[in-house]
Amino acid sequence: MQATPKFRALVCGHTGATGSALIETLTALPQCESIVAVGRRKNAAQEGNPKLTQHVVENMQAMSKTHPDLGAGCTVAFCCIGTTFNDVFKKSKADEYQSVDFVIATEFAKLAKQGGVDFFAIITGENSDSKSQMRMTRVKGETEDFVVSLGFKRLAILRPGLLNRGKGRRGWLEQIFTVGGIFGLPVQKLGQAMIWMAMNQQEALKRYETPDIQRAIKGFESSHFG
């Protein structure tokens, strides 16, 4: 199967670090004709972007019901929604983690499915497993299971390890684990990997572990910067 030369993107999480980086790359990419982004607020830095249409959805946990047609006409979708590293381990954030990483993520997947997208990509994490005893990996696994059940024509599940969100976005825990930003996968590179997958993945379902993501990054760089 040949990759579609042109595509129209649907994005969730466009105000976060990964989503913002993804929007920037998509904007510069000739193959991307247009971008529709849904979120609880607008990305102010992207105001005036002629490729981008931003939709503010107050209740993201019901978006597939309240805004069922937002994904219409889009051919690929990217789910970049997720709880920050600083909050994911906090017991006080357990309900918020569930509502964001499962409820909003699966609502966006339903929205994309309703829109008829050909390809769906979602970022989960290492060791995601719905049977895990750990809340973080269990919720991510439950999200994966739900998205798989929707039956997308092509589905990419990205399971990166530690992410590096860049200067100005790192909390103290993230600072420690990335050694001040030296380590971790840069979110810009993760966005590039997602785009490469959208344009090249042939499998109906593929889970990308860190080595697979690195190969996708090299594939993107070879195609666009080589």
pLDDT of residue 40: 93
Cα within 13 Å of Cα(194), Cβ side: 31
Structural tokens at position 148 = 């798989």
2 pLDDT band, cuts 50/70/90, is very low
- Residue whose C-alpha is closest to residue 210's, from 154, 127, 136: 127
Where are the alpha helices (H) located in 33-171, listed in sequence order? 63-66, 85-88, 94-98, 105-115, 135-149
Q: Determine contact, residues 61/95, Cβ cutoff 8 Å.
A: no
- Looking at residues 174-187, what average pLDDT do you find? 56
Backbone phi, psi, residue 109, to 5° = -60, -40
Domains of the chain: 7-225 (3.40.50.720)
Q: Which amino acid is at 138?
A: R
The residue ranking higher by pLDDT, 191 or 178, is 191
User: How many CB atoms lie under 10 A from the CB of residue 95?
Assistant: 9
pLDDT in tens, 98-150: 889 999 999 999 999 999 999 999 999 999 999 999 888 899 999 999 999 99
The span from the CA of 203 to the CA of 131, in Å, is 25
What is the strand order of the sheet 32-39 is part of? 52-56, 32-39, 7-12, 76-79, 119-123, 154-158, 205-208
The total number of residues shown for the chain amounts to 226
pLDDT in tens, 31-90: 999 999 999 999 999 999 999 999 999 999 999 999 999 999 999 999 999 875 444 555
